[in-house]
Amino acid sequence: MSNNDSPIKSTGLHIGEAAPGCKKTDPMLIIDHVKKSFGGLTAVDVEHLEIPKNAITALIGPNGAGKTTLFNLLTGFDTPDTGEWAFLGTSLSGVPSYKVAQMGQVRTFQLTKALSLLTVLDNMKLGAKNQVGESIFRALFPRSWRKQDAEIELKAIELLKRFKLDTKQADFAASLSGGQRKLLEMARALMTDPVLVMLDEPMAGVNPALTQSLLGHVLDLKKEGMTVLFVEHDMHMVRHIADWVVVMAEGKVVAEGPPETVMNEQAVIDAYLGAHQDTDLGVVTGRISIIDQEKDK
Amino acid sequence: MDWGTIINNTLAGLLTPTTIAFALAALGLAMHFGFAGLLNFGIAGFMAIGAYGYAISVLTFGFPWWGGMIVGIIGSILFAILLGVPTLRLRGDYLAIVTIAAAEIVRLLFLTTAFTDVTGSADGLFGYNNAGGFTSANPFPPGSYGWGPWTYNSETLWVLTFGLGVLAVCVWFLWALMRSPWGRVIKGIREDEEAIRALGKNVFAYKLQALIIGGIFGGMGGIIYAAFANVSPGVYVTSITFFIWTSLLLGGAATIWGPVIGAVIFWTLQAFLSNILPELALAGILPVSGTQAATLRFVLVGIGLMLLVIYRPQGIFGDKRELTFVK
Ligand SMILES: Nc1ncnc2c1ncn2[C@@H]1O[C@H](COP(=O)(O)OP(=O)(O)O)[C@@H](O)[C@H]1O
Ligand SMILES: [Mg+2]
């Protein structure tokens, strides 16, 4: 893993001008007219959005912009009022969340969901797909699943090593720190052999020492041919690893483009400044300084 | 005070058909609550359906005893599906409310005079063990078996043997399931069903399966109870549900042997209290009448249940970390 070198950015992802809703040369996810309201509040209202294949796309925007809600809609955890979206050409409207995951579109949660009273290893093994022993009838015959279970265990331990959690494998997940739980959730998601990995604020609450390795892991996913869509507030991380940035504000996509250019756009600065009052001041000041630096260049 | 009788009766409580029936029902609750996190407060309903399913199919439809028992089990499965399909998609507390109400509905349906011909209404049902041939299937010749407090006639010995056999199969079944990848998914659902859904598992199907398996155990509990006593609607009241919860929590909800040992402790304690409390009243130590003293044990059960939940939610055998109410 080369955490400190500048990662190789994917380019030529879009067709035509980089504007909200622009076409991608090779889209993995195509979203059309997806709208979701909670009472009078329109949480998500995305006209058209394409997520490029085998690239790292960052979804940014102030708190309450609708990023998590969009994740919920795309993964079947919530149903939109209108709209359709397709994953690798297959329409996902009305497809239940577990089937979405089986198709290779896996997500993590903003509020980490470690299975606290299961061991770290069991957490991992749960991620593996097509397990024979997960059928209630075959479960009774260990001969039918022992071998597969052993293979899954090997794979889980390999991944745990990569995420530096292998020494914790026998511990209950409840005993992990917040950052380690984020790592575990990500590693567990990888056990499903996903095509598209959707990470909701993977860095939130992760201490700086772990941040570096998390960055490395996300970059590795791309190297292994996966597509990543992640929500992040840390602009350093976004600029460092994202190939493409989508900016949301008040439910809409207000800008998209490569990180170097999109963060200078007036719409982006407005989006953040507009949300200034209700966001954590520390985070906001951090963001403004980054955006200011970009402007100064 | 006659300590000899008290001790004798207490020890006898260790192994009775009632203890076995409760152990089975508690095992069902362990599947539901301890492993899958499903709050079922209607286990008495599952027992009632098992018991009535057995008795009615023998008495009304002329089934042999084993056929009647199978009907009782099928009834429990259908009851689980009926409860699960509308509620398992909702939040966990809804299942608790629906199960407690459904168990009451079941009991009242068996109690109402509308179906007296079939259900016996308030009198309940009897004579089915003879009619269905369960009694004559007894392989033990008449006589007295065992020793000391554990002396049984051949009928009781037959019910005990049969009940222990069923219990052993159910314990093995639960153990085999919970050590498998299926059990891992079930425990994962207890922890966080959204996380499990995000990993591509059909959570609803798993929860329904768990509800059915636990329901079968509960139904078997009712059947074993019926194989020894009569079937009476007065048995399957909500307090029975709470006795079973007490047994389960006593032993440890997320364990295989906990519910069995919990039921044994519960009934041994019940036997002890029902013997010693009237004696204490007679001796003037308790300022109540003998009958009042006998009901006092149920008050003590309630207090015991509260103390258990507050101070030792994981039960006697549970791992403190594996199951607590406060997460
Ligand atoms: N279940 C819900 N019920 C009502 N309002 C919600 C719900 N989920 C999200 N919202 C609202 O929708 C908006 C978008 O929220 P969210 O998607 O969580 O934003 P983000 O992840 O971008 O911070 C917010 O105003 C939030 O309060
Ligand atoms: Mg969010």
Determine which residue's CA is closest to atom 7 belonging to ligand 1.
Answer: A38
Nearest ligand 1 atom, CA A231: 21
Please give the mean pLDDT across all residues of chain B: 92
Q: In this model, does residue A3 exceed pLDDT 80?
A: no
Determine which residue's CA is closest to atom 3 belonging to ligand 1.
Answer: A38
Q: Which string of b and e fits B34-57 if b means at least 16 CB within 10 Å?
A: bbbbbbbbbbbbbbbbbbbbbbbb
Return d(Cα A27, Cα A73) in angstroms, integer: 18
Q: How far is the alpha carbon of A289 from chain B, nearest alpha carbon, in Å?
A: 36
- Angle among Cα B92, B94, B97 to the nearest 5 degrees reads 125
Choosing among A71, A92, A98, which should be mutated to test the B contact, i.e. which has the most B CBs within 10 A? A98
Nearest to B227 by CA among B31, B94, B58, B39: B58
Q: Which string of b and e fits B116-155 if b means at least 16 CB within 10 Å?
A: eeebbbeebbbebbebbbbbeebeeeeeeeeeeeeebeeb
Q: For residue A45, give the H/E element and its range.
A: strand A41-52
Q: In this model, does residue A217 exceed pLDDT 70?
A: yes
So what's the pLDDT on residue B323?
56
Return d(Cα A139, Cα A133) in angstroms, integer: 4
So what's the pLDDT on residue A283?
43
Ligand 2 centre distance from Cα of residue B190 (Å): 25
Residue type for position A250? E
Choosing among A110, A111, A134, which should be mutated to test the B contact, i.e. which has the most B CBs within 10 A? A134
- Beta-carbon separation of A97 and B198 below 8 A: yes
Q: Does A145 touch chain B (CB under 8 A)?
A: yes
Return d(Cα B38, Cα B42) in angstroms, integer: 11
Ligand 2 centre distance from Cα of residue A64 (Å): 7
Higher pLDDT, A60 or A6: A60
Determine which residue's CA is closest to atom 6 belonging to ligand 1.
Answer: A38
Q: Strand pairing of A105-107 and A196-200?
A: parallel
pLDDT digits (tens, 9 = 90+) for A270-287: 777 655 444 443 343 343
Determine which residue's CA is closest to atom 25 belonging to ligand 1.
Answer: A64
CATH architecture of A1-114+192-264: 3-Layer(aba) Sandwich (3.40)
So what's the pLDDT on residue B54?
97
Q: Does B320 touch chain A (CB under 8 A)?
A: no
Q: In this model, does residue A84 exceed pLDDT 50?
A: yes
Ligand 1 centre distance from Cα of residue A114 (Å): 22
Chain A environment of B200 (Cβ under 8 Å)? 98-99, 101-102, 106, 129, 192
Handedness of CA B184, B187, B192, B194 (dihedral sign): positive
* Structural domain boundaries in chain A: 1-114+192-264, 115-175
Cα separations (Å) of B89 from A146, B42, B52, B94, B204? 32, 18, 29, 10, 7
pLDDT digits (tens, 9 = 90+) for A154-184: 999 999 999 989 999 999 999 998 889 999 9
Task: Say whether the ipTM exceeds 0.90.
Answer: no
Please give the mean pLDDT across all residues of chain A: 87
Nearest to B16 by CA among B205, B224, B213, B186: B224
Determine which residue's CA is closest to atom 18 belonging to ligand 1.
Answer: A68
Nearest to B236 by CA among B113, B104, B138: B104
Map tokens 């063990």 to a residue.
Answer: B129
Both structure tokens of A47: 């006209």
Map tokens 């996509």 to a residue.
Answer: A253
Q: Does B212 touch chain A (CB under 8 A)?
A: no
Nearest ligand 1 atom, CA A110: 21
Confidence of residue A289 (pLDDT cuts 50, 70, 90): very low
DSSP H helical segments within chain A, as ranges?
A: 67-74, 97-102, 120-127, 136-139, 142-162, 178-190, 208-223, 235-241, 259-262, 266-274, 281-296
- Beta-carbon separation of B184 and A127 below 8 A: no
- Interface size A-B, in CB pairs within 8 Å, comes to 105
Name the stretches of chain B with pLDDT < 50: 325-327
Q: In this model, does residue A293 exceed pLDDT 60?
A: no
Residue B110 · residue B233 · CB < 8 Å? yes
Map tokens 């299942």 to a residue.
Answer: B95
Strand, coil or helix: A255: strand
Q: How are the residues of chain B apportioned to helix, strand and coil, as percentages rounded to the nearest 5?
A: 70, 5, 25
Kindly list the strands in the beta sheet with A244-249, ordered across the sheet, starting from the edge strand earlier in the chain. Answer: A105-107, A196-200, A227-231, A56-60, A244-249, A252-257
- CA closest to B192 among chain A residues: A115
So what's the pLDDT on residue A286?
40
Both structure tokens of B201: 């598992």
Return d(Cα B130, Cα B127) in angstroms, integer: 6
pLDDT digits (tens, 9 = 90+) for B60-116: 999 999 999 999 999 999 999 999 999 998 888 889 999 999 999 999 999 999 999
Both structure tokens of A71: 């994740």
Q: Which of A116, A126, A191 sits opposite B184 (nearest CB)?
A: A126
- CA closest to B191 among chain A residues: A115
Both structure tokens of B15: 């192994």
Which whole number is the average pLDDT over A254-269? 83
Q: Which string of b and e fits B241-265 if b means at least 16 CB within 10 Å?
A: bbbbbbbbbbbbbbbbbbbbbbbbb
Most informative mutation of A38, A41, A253 for ligand 1 (most atoms within 8 A of CB): A38
So what's the pLDDT on residue A296?
47
User: What is the pTM for the complete model shown?
Assistant: 0.91
Q: Does B289 touch chain A (CB under 8 A)?
A: no
